[in-house]
Chain A
């Protein structure tokens, strides 16, 4: 294909989309109106703080499992992984595997103890046997930082979809859409609280799974359900041959990229159990047993979804081809919607309808995840920082909920402002940064708090701030931010740290600091409080 033809193909997608713009807008409007309806209904049912933060703790294990899946399968999973596999073949598949295996850490070590001993936030567990104010400040800070990294990725995904669908390439147009997403998420969270957000997640999970099954089915149909044929065609069309199906295309270039692969792999597998917006989901069910069952549902649903990313990614490589994908978005973020267009038929109405549907699903995905992230950070601000640090536990429930609603508005505005920065990065790579920060700052502190008798306040502070500062600092000086054509600031170069993911350094550092802070601290650990935490976390005695 000549360069001119390639450009044509990419434009074609946008044109096809623009012809059916009314359909896309209608589908999107239906989702927005339906979810707003749910939000208003849920808002009426939200009376006290337990409703706002934890959805009244009355969701069933299956409902929460579906909602957890909805919160977890973000634009990164849908757009990012499909794109990464479509462009880099087997190396992109690491995301699917890491994102799934990570759930075992949550299942075996974190979900049940957290549900048993906490109330509304991750900070509840971290500060349980520590000095409340400093640890809650630290927990609130890392919750907000992790959520903002995650939000950045979702906003990048939103911008990408818009330029594909509406043919908007101007910055003003993209910012307008990002602002629309921001306003919607403020409404969802501040009115519907956890109840509304949970229902939105469930609707979204069903739509996303449904859309993915449909595309997977259509892709496999083209290859008579012969996966070997699908892989073979993908390899051939990729221009890389058999290497496309082997590890190393993206990360096997040299020693540094190989280290980056390990770094990414560690961040993925250890990040999930430290993600605040996932952790607070476990408070929405009545008890630890239900939390365990919801993780099992989530593993089943998410596992099935990630298996289907094989068909999405290799299908996009085989049926769309890498040239058209990179023309449309250099990091491959539009591979899944383009695949929908191609399996339906590029010149047919059916293709355009599929493209519209999948894009609406992707948009729903982004909106729902953004709402979950905003809820996590505003909850943590209101409950950890406002109620327990600023007001020293003297705030009424009403005041706390009011603070949460204001925090929602503030975080909404911040993420709109940041959303414009990250357009050309692969959204899966961006989310992997949030995973690295979560695994460096939150996971060590959670594990030490729950399982290490000697752990002290100083240890908790050192591991949270140490992990957080090193992870964020290394990202700042990595090729993600500068010194690379796809970086946020491509025109400057202050990238002295060669890895794109900081996990390899920052995660062991977080664990090390927690240990060092503890053995060097002069204070005695609070034995009575640890006895209380340990008995509560394992038995559920006195659980909220």
Chain B
């Protein structure tokens, strides 16, 4: 370590300069990370919110359909509710897989270069 470097601390790490941040933000590599995050997370968010609202609206305005018995006392509403649980679990799993494969390596590369070069 260079003698004039600040002492390492778990809370205070020297941040890269404002110019470095702007430069990285403009870089193609960062644009790719941003695209990879936004093009996955934003449409998926809209999709699950719409799916959830569909459930809320059907409960409100399509009582007859929701009350249709499927087997025993299990009706469409019940299955619809359980389906919301299942899709939530699946989306969480899917996003985490996407993040680990597509986002983490890109983020890690930028981070280590910026912190190493600071």
Contacts and interface: CB of A to CB of B under 8 A. Distances in A.
Partners in one complex: yes
B88 A108 contact: no
Contacts of A473: none
Interface string A249-271: 00110000010011001100100
A3 interface: no
Nearest to B67: A246
A100 B13 contact: no
Contacts of B84: 97, 100-101
Interface stretch (A159-167, A421-429, A532-540): A532-540
A389 B116 CA distance: 34
Contacts of A242: 67, 69, 73
Contact of A101 (B11, B48, B95): B48
Contacts of B73: 228-229, 231-232, 235, 242, 245
Interface in B1-52: 10-11, 13, 15-16, 18, 21-22, 24-26, 30, 33-34, 37-38, 41, 44-45, 48-49, 52
16 contacts: A100-B85, A103-B92, A229-B72, A245-B75, A252-B63, A261-B60, A292-B96, A296-B92, A296-B93, A303-B88, A527-B22, A532-B21, A535-B24, A535-B30, A538-B34, A540-B107
Contacts of B96: 292-293, 296
A228 B88 CA distance: 24
A303 B110 CA distance: 35
Contacts of B88: 100-101, 103-104, 299, 303
Nearest to A232: B73
Interface residues of A, number: 64
Nearest to A447: B45
Interface of B: 10-11, 13, 15-16, 18, 21-22, 24-26, 30, 33-34, 37-38, 41, 44-45, 48-49, 52-53, 55-57, 59-61, 63, 66-67, 69, 71-75, 77-78, 81-82, 84-85, 88-89, 91-93, 95-96, 99, 103-104, 107-108, 110-111, 114-115
B55 A97 contact: yes
A222 B93 CA distance: 34
Contacts of B108: 539
A251 B81 contact: no
Nearest to A119: B11
A112 B69 CA distance: 42
Contacts of A303: 85, 88-89
A105 interface: yes
Contacts of B95: 104, 107-108
Interface string A96-116: 111011011101110010000
Interface of A: 48, 50, 57, 90-91, 93-94, 96-98, 100-101, 103-105, 107-109, 112, 226-229, 231-232, 235, 242-243, 245-248, 251-252, 258, 261-262, 265-266, 269, 289, 292-293, 295-296, 299-300, 303, 306-307, 451, 527-528, 531-532, 534-536, 538-542, 544
Given A100-B85, A265-B53, A258 B61 contact: yes
Contacts of A100: 84-85, 88
A541 B115 contact: yes
The 4 closest A-B pairs by CB, nearest first: A228-B72, A247-B59, A246-B67, A531-B25
B75 A540 contact: no
A303 B85 CA distance: 7
A540 B33 CA distance: 13
Given A104-B88, A109-B45, 13 more contacts: A57-B10, A90-B77, A100-B84, A108-B91, A227-B74, A231-B72, A247-B63, A247-B66, A252-B60, A296-B96, A532-B18, A539-B107, A542-B15
A94 B85 CA distance: 12
Contacts of A527: 22
Contact of B56 (A48, A261, A539): A261
A243 B66 CA distance: 11
A248 B63 contact: yes
B109 to A, nearest CB: 9
A539 B52 contact: no
